[in-house]
Amino acid sequence: GAYVLQVKATDADDPTYGNSARVVYSILQGQPYFSIDPKTGVIRTALPNMDREVKEQYQVLIQAKDMGGQLGGLAGTTTVNITLTDVNDNPPRFPKSIFHLKVPESSHVGSAIGRIRAVDPDFGKNAEIEYNIVPGDGGNLFDITTDENTQEGVIKLKKPLDFETKKAYTFKVEASNLHLDHRFHSVGPFKDTATVKINVLDMDEPPVFSKPVYTMEVYEDTPVGTIIGAVTAQDLDAGSSSVRYFIDWKNDVDSYFTIDATEGTIATNELLDRESTAQYNFSIIASKVSNPLLTSKVNVIINVLDVNEFPPEISVPYETSVCENAKPGQVIQTVTAADKDLSPAGQRFSFRLSAEASNKPNFTVHDYRNNTAGIETRRNGYSRRQQELYFLPLVIEDSSYPVQSSTNTMTIRVCRCDSDGTILSCNVEAIFLPVGLSTGALIAILLCIVILLVIVVLYVALRRQKKKDTLMTSKEDIRDNVIHYDDEGGGEEDTQAFDIGALRNPKVIEDNKIRRDIKPDTLRFPRQRPPVEDNADIRDFINQRLQENDVDPTAPPYDSLATYVYEGNGSVAESLSSIDSLTTEADQDYDYLSDWGPRFKILADMFGEEES
């Protein structure tokens, strides 16, 4: 009796004239599924439970006849196509109760390993199905989603499979409708379940390490070659194969360690220094001997443990001060310590005075037991005049094994302070501060003084150098034209290749020059020297000496040094040589030496005595 639609026919006859325009409706085709009201033309369902899944399309032939449907009336027909709309009156159903799947153990996580499908005869959104894995054994390694196009359940791998660990998994999958119609709740639950059995296929897979990460510790003073740990990987396949290990080198730091290819033991390859590198992080690769392409990798972390090798020291080189009017027990400085071995938070430092300083009544150390200490005064008042500086030896020890300690000397300067303890002056600054000179002004004054001293020293040095040059020039003038010649054997180069011009010094030839270095007894006119006409006399002199040495059987060896002195033709002393001076015994007149002044008096007296 459900309303479907209403049809209506029209008649052109006059409705006021008899029954000519009165129309009656009837169904010629479409029964027993539908019925029609003869007067109104309303079509209704004739059966209570029509099923779209059985038949969806219907054609109904409707007749309209005038004259009230009596014999002789005129009739017209029309066809009505009726389609049944779907309602969610059917639950999803699996076509079979068990689904079997085979999955390789090497399948990647997230990959689809199989599909299952439940059938729902409904249409459209009423046929949409949601799949879920029923909680239980074996289902936690898998996941299932719905393919919107095919309404299939896609089973995916959520965790890795291992044939050696478990070869088969069994779990249940539930399929249910997403959109339910409350009018059909009484029909029953709109869901169905099926069992899924998955068999894991054995595959040749890489070795498996026993740990995901290996952490090891080693002391920084460990000798080279010491084994510090080992890694282990196994081939879990049925026909197990041997495993080889090697380090995955990525930088030079990885070379600090080596690994035994067979045993997997890790040893030090170089000396370690925690202060340089406190932790090493590298990878170990394991491969199967039967198939080297199958490899696995694991991370290794090596922590370098500290060896107490450095003593603690004062954090900064402290220099503090104390007021002259200081009271006993007054803290003048708080000191802290640092250790290169570990951070201060990881050690405990203790402070004390050295043995020789602990008995002195000047200062003491108060250890606060929190890695700090205070320097305190032990007496009432200090005097800069008596002692300006105090040196306090402070001993600091750490708490590691073996215990390391160091002695740090603190400099304490006595200063003048006001009644509130504010420093007014210390040591040298006290002399200049009343005058109003700052430290910068003092430095500028000292710099000016140094510059003046440098200028004076340079001026005096230049004056002395000038006087010395004048005296040397006068002495060279006295030498006149004395020439030195060195002969080392009279070879061809020495006898023929010399330059005669280089044997003379024309600067010392000055005529009519009066000597100013001695005071003359009587007025003397300078001795006139004949001018040197040319260099022929010097050339003859040298050639003569060379010839004498060439023929002399008693001449010195070839590489001996022979000295000749040539005074010129006008010289009273004439020429001397190392040979003639030894062999010539002719009498000489040395009276002219007395004319050379006081400087040659001793020489004149010596030769004068020989003549007498």
**How does DSSP assign 209-277, residue by residue?**
ES-SEEEEEEETTPPTT-EEEE--EE--SSS---EEEEEE--SGGGGGEEE-TTT-EEEESS---TTT-
Asked if residue 99 lies in contact with residue 197, where contact means CB atoms within 8 angstroms, the answer is: yes
Burial 522-542 (b: 16+ CB within 10 A, else e): eeeeeeeeeebeeeeebeebb
Low-confidence ranges of the chain (pLDDT < 70): 18, 186, 188, 238-239, 317, 342-346, 401, 427-439, 467-535, 555-561, 564-590, 608-612
What local confidence, expressed as pLDDT, does residue 321 receive?
A: 92
What local confidence, expressed as pLDDT, does residue 439 receive?
A: 65
Cis peptide preceding 32, ω within 30 of 0: yes
The amino acid at residue 601 is K
Q: What is the DSSP letter of 297?
A: E
Percentage of residues in the chain with pLDDT exceeding 90?
35
Closest CA to 52 of 118, 124, 1, 114: 124
Look at residue 313 and give its three-state secondary structure: strand
Beta bridge pairs of residue 65: 24, 75
Spell out the SS3 assignment of 564-592: EEECCCCCCCCCEECCHHHHCCCCCCCHH
Asked if residue 370 lies in contact with residue 411, where contact means CB atoms within 8 angstroms, the answer is: no
Cα dist from 559 to 188, 487, 499, whole Å: 138, 9, 21
Closest CA to 300 of 223, 225, 218: 218
End-to-end alpha carbon distance in the chain: 186
Closest CA to 342 of 210, 160, 169, 220: 220
Taking the C-alpha atoms of residue 333 and residue 320, their distance in angstroms, rounded to an integer, is 7
What local confidence, expressed as pLDDT, does residue 30 receive?
A: 80
Asked if residue 305 lies in contact with residue 219, where contact means CB atoms within 8 angstroms, the answer is: yes
Asked if residue 590 lies in contact with residue 604, where contact means CB atoms within 8 angstroms, the answer is: yes
What local confidence, expressed as pLDDT, does residue 479 receive?
A: 46
Strand ranges (DSSP E) for 339-460? 350-353, 363-367, 372-377, 389-397, 405-417, 423-426
Write down how long the chain is: 612
Closest CA to 494 of 580, 578, 558: 558
Burial 493-510 (b: 16+ CB within 10 A, else e): eebeeeeeeebeeeeeee
Taking the C-alpha atoms of residue 128 and residue 178, their distance in angstroms, rounded to an integer, is 6
The strands making up 562-566's β-sheet, listed across from edge to edge, are 483-487, 562-566, 576-577
Q: Who's near 590: CB < 8 A, 6+ residues apart?
A: 604, 607, 608, 610, 611
Tokens describing residue 339: 């250790």
Look at residue 175 and give its three-state secondary structure: strand
C-beta atoms surrounding 345 within 10 Å: 6
Asked if residue 579 lies in contact with residue 562, where contact means CB atoms within 8 angstroms, the answer is: yes
Tokens describing residue 173: 């999958």
Taking the C-alpha atoms of residue 27 and residue 502, their distance in angstroms, rounded to an integer, is 158
Question: What are the structural domains, with CATH classification, of the chain?
Answer: 3-83 (2.60.40.60), 98-201 (2.60.40.60), 208-305 (2.60.40.60), 313-425 (2.60.40.60)
Report angle CA 32, 38, 39 to the nearest 5 degrees: 150
Render pLDDT for 129-161 as a digit per residue (tens, 0 to 9): 999 999 877 788 999 999 989 999 999 999 998
Burial (0-12, 13-18, 19+ Cβ within 10 Å), 46:
middle
Taking the C-alpha atoms of residue 270 and residue 222, their distance in angstroms, rounded to an integer, is 9
Chain centroid offset of residue 505 CA: 74
Tokens describing residue 374: 């205070």
Closest CA to 248 of 294, 295, 204: 295
Asked if residue 68 lies in contact with residue 153, where contact means CB atoms within 8 angstroms, the answer is: no
Taking the C-alpha atoms of residue 396 and residue 88, their distance in angstroms, rounded to an integer, is 88
Look at residue 390 and give its three-state secondary structure: strand
| pTM for this predicted structure | 0.39
Strand ranges (DSSP E) for 522-561? none
Tokens describing residue 337: 């310590």
Burial (0-12, 13-18, 19+ Cβ within 10 Å), 173:
buried
Taking the C-alpha atoms of residue 476 and residue 509, their distance in angstroms, rounded to an integer, is 10
Beta bridge pairs of residue 366: 374
What local confidence, expressed as pLDDT, does residue 83 receive?
A: 85
